[in-house]
Amino acid sequence: MVQSVIVDRRFCVPGPVDLVMVRDKIASQYGNFVIGDVNGNMMFQVKKPGFGLHKKMILLDSSGSPVLTMKEKSMTLHNRWQVFKGGSTEECDMLYTVKRSSMIQRTTKLEVFFGQNNEEKTCDFRVKGTNWLERSCVVYAGVSDVIVAQMQHKKHTRHTALSGKDSFSVTVNPNVDYAFIASLVVLFDVIDRQESAKGIGTDNFEAAHVVHGLFQ
């Protein structure tokens, strides 16, 4: 059985949820997302708080309150990110960990482990990239073939190339925590682009700037 409430019950609804995620691909490699519904209403935004030694992003709700904090764990081989409740980074508030499935992979694959899954023998969710050209992904429950969400990276057009923005459409199945899914798509995008950029240049962690006016 798929666990529905992972972040908060308010993010679980009886019907499917369609999200539109927009990232400014020029400003920063991390964060810098605005997430809304298909009607243009902002639901979340992602930003990097200040500067620091750790790569960190915060998922905020429409009122600006922190929902999740995503922090990369340093000195790990699998691009491990820890996700905490609210604005905390305390171990007692860690909800789940996201990491690459293996060191070498043709397409980006991630495994998700809940905080209490200490042994990490079997993942609780997994994210599988479709192919390196499309940069889209599917989210599955555990090691099963049960799909809980799908993300489609929208193809570039002349307009999107000029605007300097990347956009994603995400469909979340009924009763699945869509804040949880939004965080997985953000982390998939970050790790997938890290994989694509290997050997090309230095991986810089720039400050993210919130994109204003996209959902007005």
Amino acid at 46: V
Q: Is the pLDDT at 75 greater than 80, yes or no? A: no
Which CATH number is 185's domain given? 2.40.160.200
Give the range of the structural domain holding residue 107, as residue numbers without chain letter.
17-197
- Distance from C-alpha of 43 to C-alpha of 128, rounded to nearest angstrom: 25
- Distance from C-alpha of 9 to C-alpha of 186, rounded to nearest angstrom: 21
- Among all chains, which residue has been given the structure tokens 């020029």? 26
Specify if 204 maps to a domain. no
Q: Is the pLDDT at 200 greater than 50, yes or no? A: no
Specify if 12 maps to a domain. no
Backbone phi and psi for residue 101, each to the nearest 5 degrees, phi listed first: -70, -35
**Total domains present in the chain:** 1
Contact at 8 Å (CB) between 213 and 40? no
Specify if 203 maps to a domain. no
Specify if 7 maps to a domain. no
Indicate the pTM of the whole model: 0.85
pLDDT band at 204 (very low <50, low <70, confident <90, very high): very low
- Distance from C-alpha of 72 to C-alpha of 8, rounded to nearest angstrom: 22
Given the DSSP bridges, would you call strands 125-129 and 17-24 parallel, antiparallel or unpaired?
A: unpaired
CB count within 10 Å of CB 77 equals 9
What distances in angstroms separate CA 84 from CA 59, 67, 95, 182, one per listed residue? 10, 9, 5, 14
Two tokens, residue 100: 């690459």
pLDDT band at 202 (very low <50, low <70, confident <90, very high): very low
Specify if 8 maps to a domain. no
